[in-house]
Every structure is written in C-alpha cells, then in structure tokens.
Amino acid sequence: MSKVFELIAKEEKRQNETVELIASENFVSENVRKAVGSVLTNKYTEGYPGNRYYGGCENYDELENYCREMWQKVFDTDYHVNVQPHAGSQANYAAYMSVLKPGDTILAMDLNNGGHLTHGSSVNFSGKMYISHFYGVDDNGFIDYDGVPARLREVKPQVVMVGASAYSRIIDFAKFREMIDAYNAEFGTDCKMIVDMSHIAGLVAAGEHPSPFGIADIITTTTHKTLRGPRGGMIFCKPELARKVDSAIFPGSQGGSLMHVIAGKAIAAEEALTPEYKEYIKNVVINTRVMCDKFIEMGYDIITGGTDNHLFLVDLSKTFPNVTGKQVQDKLDEHGITLNKNCVPKEARSPKETSGVRIGAAAMTTKGWKPEDFCKAAERIDKIIREELA
Ligand code: DSN
C-alpha cells in the first residue's frame, strides 16, 4: 500500500477516535467527499462559464452556474457570487484587490482581539500591501463599536473589514454600516464594507445569526467551517462589483479553478438548504452554550461571559495564571481532545504560547453529540487542567 494511503487510514482513525473541538473544523458528508474525489480534478477550466480558455468545459459551465445559484438560494440573496476562491485567504485577497490599490488603508478587527491574519496582520499580504489599522474589543471582550467612529476619522480607510475568527458574540453588521455611511457622508469618501463571515456562515445560512446580505458591499467566506462543505472559499458582492471581484479572482490572483472542489461546494449548498441542516445549526448553538455554561459553573473565565454562536474563548490568565494555552492544547492532545490555543484580549504571552483556548461545538455536533456529551467533555478538560497542569 502507498505510504499516502497508510497515512490517510491513520488520520481516519484519529478523526474517529478523538474529540474535535477546533471551532473552524467540521466533518463533511460522504457526498461532499465523493464530489471532491471525482474525475473533475482532471480538467483545466480557467475563466468563467461561457468564457473559458479551454475546450471541453460544457459540464463545468453548468456545474459552476448551478453551484452559484444554489449558494444564492442558501443566503436568499441576489448578490453576485464567485465560487472559485481556493480558500478564505484567497477570497479576502481578491475582495481587497477588487476595491483597493496597494498602499490604501484598511480598518479591521485586531488579530489579538479575535481578528484574522488576512485582516491586516503585518506578517500577512494584507498588512504588507495595505496600510492596516485596527479596532478591538472593550474591557468585557465585546466589539468596541463606540470606538469605531473615532478610528474611522483618524485612519481614513478605504475598506472596513468586519468579521472575526475568535469572537463568540453576535456581530452587529447594521451598526458597522451606519458608522461607515456616516464617515463616508462626512468626508465624501466611498469606504467599502467587507464582511468575512467564514466562521459564522452556517449560522447566517440557518437564520441563527443576523445576515450581512443587503448590508455589506462584499462578503467573503470559507466553505469548510460551520457550512460543513469542502475546504475552500467564496465571495459574494453587490451586483455592481461583480466584474471587479471576478477579475480579481481570475485572472487577478488565481489560475485554473478547482472544479472538483466547486462540485463539493455545490453539494454543501444542497445540504445547507435542508431542514436537517437548520436543525443541526440550532443544535450547534445550543451545544456551544451548554458547554460554555458548564465551564462558567466550574469557575472558568470566559471572554464576554458567554457565547451566541458556535465557539467560546476560555481566558486562563486569572484562574490559572501559570498555565498557557499551548500547554492545555498539548496536554489535551495526549488525551485525544483537540482544540487550539488562542490569544486573549490584552494578551501578555506570544501567539505561540497564549493565555487562552478556543472551543467550538460544530464538529462534534455533526458527530451527533448532545448537550450532556459536551458537559462531560468540559468536566474531563477541567480535570486534566487541574490534575495535570495547574
Ligand atoms: N484558521 C482559521 C481558524 O481556525 O479560525 C481561520 O482561517
């Protein structure tokens, strides 16, 4: 047997035998895997439906159009959609490129406060190509909406990026729109609002989080987190930005599209339209809250004191000042529980150590876990931290 298949078998075993609490991961259906492993990987399809650079694309044209229509249905929107981004980073790259020139300014959520590398971090293209400034969270861990208008006036951005990879509360998209509109009116600018809904896209699809459609100019997402599709990205935009967004993906930043993955994205859209998916997302939100409440009951400090979505953040800095997020992550790995270390607001440690961990319920809810299973897992984690680390 090829070494590759041996490793795949080992990984399958790992996924079957461990508890997966990484907030950005999930388990896709057999059908998504079938599509992604299909013969569609054999073909070059540079371009867009009806306008390809290679012959033999008729099935791909139909598939890509179908995928686009299905995702418009999922989000009940007439926004234009591009399903070709290879990943979330590529989606954000093209989203910026469609409305910014190098050297323009973006305002985004600070990485240490729950933002993302592609939201202007100095070690990422977004912080190298653009001048980036940040907003953050208040002393209770909630987005500091009141501080945003002053930041807008101060840094005069061409784009405000709204979204997070480690934030457990509802994001008020309408409030951001209002503040950006007021800034544009005051300065005669045309600052665009981009929402990166990668983490919460499944909740938006199921009506468990307010939708950014009709509010943001551009919306980016990954397809593999709460949307439970294959690893990949998508961009939605107001119809007037369609040409700019499409050309920022191809030929701007990508070549041939991954049609086998686009097929998987189409399957995920079909699945997201079912009543079972809506029920699943409801359960994700319930399970996350129950597990979070269990940690609070056991004396843990949770950023914002709770959760509204599929994740929550445990701040160890006061309760276990000598225990780092990395130690918890590594120790839990030994016990077959997978989660990730995470910076906390006002983090004193490096991102490689951290003072917190991020916990999500999307993956284990897919595996059929009920609230009581999440409570038992919280108790196990607590026991391991107290007995083996504190
Ligand atoms: N790496 C992802 C996460 O874990 O949130 C974001 O891209």
Residue 88 in contact with ligand 1 by CB distance below 6 A: yes
Residue 327 in contact with ligand 1 by CB distance below 6 A: no
Domain boundaries in the chain?
30-272, 275-388
Determine the atom of ligand 1 nearest the C-alpha atom of 118.
7
Q: What is the 3-state secondary structure (H, E, C) of the chain?
A: CCHHHHHHHHHHHHHHHCEECCCCCCCCCHHHHHHHCCHHHHCCCCEECCEECCCCCHHHHHHHHHHHHHHHHHCCCCCEEECCCCCHHHHHHHHHHHHCCCCCEEEEECHHHCCCCCCCCCCCHHHHHCEEEEECECCCCCECHHHHHHHHHHHCCCEEEEECCCCCCCCCHHHHHHHHHHHHHHHCCCCEEEEECCCCHHHHHCCCCCCCCCCCCEEEEECCCCCCCCCCEEEEECHHHHHHHHHHHCCCCCCCCCHHHHHHHHHHHHHHCCHHHHHHHHHHHHHHHHHHHHHHHCCCEEHHHCCCCCEEEEECCCCCCCCCHHHHHHHHHHCCEECEEECCCCCCCCCCCCCEEEEECHHHHHCCCCHHHHHHHHHHHHHHHHHHHC
Q: Which CATH class is domain 30-272?
A: alpha beta
pLDDT in tens, the chain (390 residues): 999 999 999 999 999 999 999 999 999 999 999 999 999 999 999 999 999 999 999 999 999 999 999 999 999 999 999 999 999 999 999 999 999 999 999 999 999 899 999 999 999 999 999 999 999 999 999 999 999 999 999 999 999 999 999 999 999 999 999 999 999 999 999 999 999 999 999 999 999 999 999 999 999 999 999 999 999 999 999 999 999 999 999 999 999 999 999 999 999 999 999 999 999 999 999 999 999 999 999 999 999 999 999 999 999 999 999 999 999 999 999 999 999 999 999 999 999 999 999 999 999 999 999 999 999 999 999 999 999 999
Catalytic status, residue 183: no
Catalytic status, residue 196: yes
Residue 158 in contact with ligand 1 by CB distance below 6 A: no
pTM of the model: 0.98
Which CATH code fits 275-388?
Answer: 3.90.1150.10
- CA 194 / ligand 1 centre spacing (Å): 18
- CA 57 / ligand 1 centre spacing (Å): 33
- CA 185 / ligand 1 centre spacing (Å): 34
- CA 139 / ligand 1 centre spacing (Å): 24
Question: In a mutational test of the pocket of ligand 1, which residue from 165, 197, 222, 339 has the highest number of ligand atoms less than 8 Å from its CB?
Answer: 165
